[in-house]
Structure 1
């Protein structure tokens, strides 16, 4: 199985420092649904690993999160894509869980759900914590400049394990590169 793990906010949809709290605030980034479809058409299994501390903070409910994910799933499906698993951390930063990125717990949840190792898979994120979680699980890492990516890009050099991570303008650009360079 060729596995791709995507962060959600800032990779698939617009991000906000005020949190994405409703289905109306969940706005897809241009080309993201099409990129998921292209990955699936090329034989990749696509999963999502996303911190959603807004649940613990009371900014939105589980029903709100489910509605956001339903919208994401439908938009990807309209482009021939699907998400094999969506793993999310509902905890706040002080909850000391093992799933909040930069810890690799969400990736381990994906491995368990899909009965596959993430070793050598790609994780695509817009923050250093996304890439740190992937590196801790043995994933290849890629940064996109959407979301918090432009602010995160200059931090790559201060993380030896991430310094060689390729950087792309957006998810679609990553997918173009991956498909052109796949073995």
Structure 2
């Protein structure tokens, strides 16, 4: 069994890496958020893998099918490679719709940590030395549940502010380059909050 040895920066997609266009599967509408290319180059130069983890309920809700999502996924990976000059290691998505509040949910829809754990198993990523960056507190919680440190891209997309230790970011970033500077300036991340042993994902 391979020991996890690589580090990653996990990125939410909509509102974090690219501008949020609800239920978008049109590659022509993909636009990077401010200073995202610079951040991606900085992380890649430092040796971090770049992994996108995204909730995509539009599949379950019938707005688009898996084929359309896979075409957008390919377009995003190609855009990063051609326009930024680095490669995304993976782009993973949860296709499920949100569960009713207080009902058990799937294991992959953030704030559940399933997508991060899947990527870690596939790409031999050390989650304790890795980071999650997203624009809402569900992203923060998913990172902490996986064992990562989590940064909130504080750009006004979080509206509920349901706070708990698992939803408390280690840093609030103005944009992705701010997040990159903070991560690269922190040699040893503090220990992530310990997730409860049995909590249903919402």
TM-score (norm 1): 0.86
Report the alpha carbon displacement of residue 2 of structure 1 after superposing the two structures with TM.
2.0
Larger Rg: 1 or 2? Answer: 2
Q: Is the 8 A contact 1:11 1:146 kept in 2?
A: no
The unaligned stretches of length 5 or more in structure 1 are none
* Structure 1 residues 140-179: Cα deviation after superposition (integer angstroms, max 9, x where no partner): 0100023715x46xx27x2223335200011121112222
CA 1:85–1:147 in structure 2 vs 1: closer, same or farther (change >3 Å)?
Answer: farther
- 2:57 aligns with 53
Q: 1:147 to 1:13 in 2, by over 3 A?
A: farther
Do the aligned partners of 2:9 and 2:50 also contact (CA within 8 Å) in 1?
yes
Which aligned pairs between 1:9-20 and structure 2 lie closer than 5 A? 9-16=14-21, 18-20=22-24
CA contact (8 A) 2:7 2:127 kept: no
Which of 104, 117, 134 matches 2:143? 134
Aligned-partner Cα distance in 1 for 2:171–2:136: 13
1:145 aligns with 2:154: yes
Gaps of 5+ in 2: 1-5, 189-202
Distance apart, 1:26 and its partner CA: 2.6
SS in 2 for 1:148: coil
Matching of residues 56-95 of structure 1 within 5 Å: 56-78=60-82, 79-94=84-99
Distance 2:37 2:77 in 1: 9
What is the aligned residue count?
178
> Relative to structure 2, which stretch is displaced further, 49-58 or 68-77?
68-77
Structure 1 residue 61: Cα displacement: 2.3
State the distance in 2 between where 1:161 and 1:100 align: 16
CA shift for structure 1 position 28: 1.9
Report Cα offsets for 1:99-124 as digits up to 9, x if no partner. 11111111111112112331231100
> Match for residue 131 of structure 2?
122
RMSD across aligned C-alpha pairs, in angstroms? 2.1
Q: What corresponds to 1:110 in structure 2? A: 119
Identify which of 150, 171, 179 aligns with 2:176.
Answer: 171
